[in-house]
Chain A
Amino acid sequence: QQQVKQSPQSLIVQKGGISIINCAYENTAFDYFPWYQQFPGKGPALLIAIRPDVSEKKEGRFTISFNKSAKQFSLHIMDSQPGDSATYFCAASMEEYGGATNKLIFGTGTLLAVQP
């Protein structure tokens, strides 16, 4: 119940195309769903996040679509660029430990390659 399933494992997209990465969860207590971007040799960095009270959030070329009933959420990267080539992780967390900490459960990651 603590798992977050992510697909695909890897993705190749042409420059200017749309990249779509999907995640699914089981625990309905999860209330925070971030996407992290990781470049080789670097730590993950927050890209965009959503709470389950909205179905979509957009920041620039990045959009999260959230389907609460299906317990699924996805990341869409519009007009994909070679600089977007990185590993993307979805994650989920819920309020616990009295808010003293935030335990992120990560998906298995998607390696995105955007070809010029």
Chain B
Amino acid sequence: QTVVTQEPSFSVSPGGTVTLTCGLSSGSVSTGYYPSWYQQTPGQAPRTLIYTTNTRSSGVPDRFSGSILGNKAALTITGAQADDESDYYCVLYMGSGIWVFGGGTKLTVL
């Protein structure tokens, strides 16, 4: 069974740039996996940042961007702010109607 992989944790300095990745335990992520990215703070519902690789969801600032980097999907945050400190999840389409989330990345801004 293919697992969707994410960094368990990451840290970034305020104003800095960070790239979180979303990979597969076997194989490469391509646009055909329609990678999507979500931000979640404790006790809140997820907020969609990016879907279908690089489409920004309504109201999401352009300092959040999505791409394919090498064999992984990537979420880049530029000009990190204190309220970017959250959990970030990706999801990939595995075919046959099935979606699989990654385990999430806890981002610290310090």
Q: Decide if A and B are genuine partners.
A: no
| Residues in B lying within 8 Å of A, measured CB to CB | none
| Residues in A lying within 8 Å of B, measured CB to CB | none
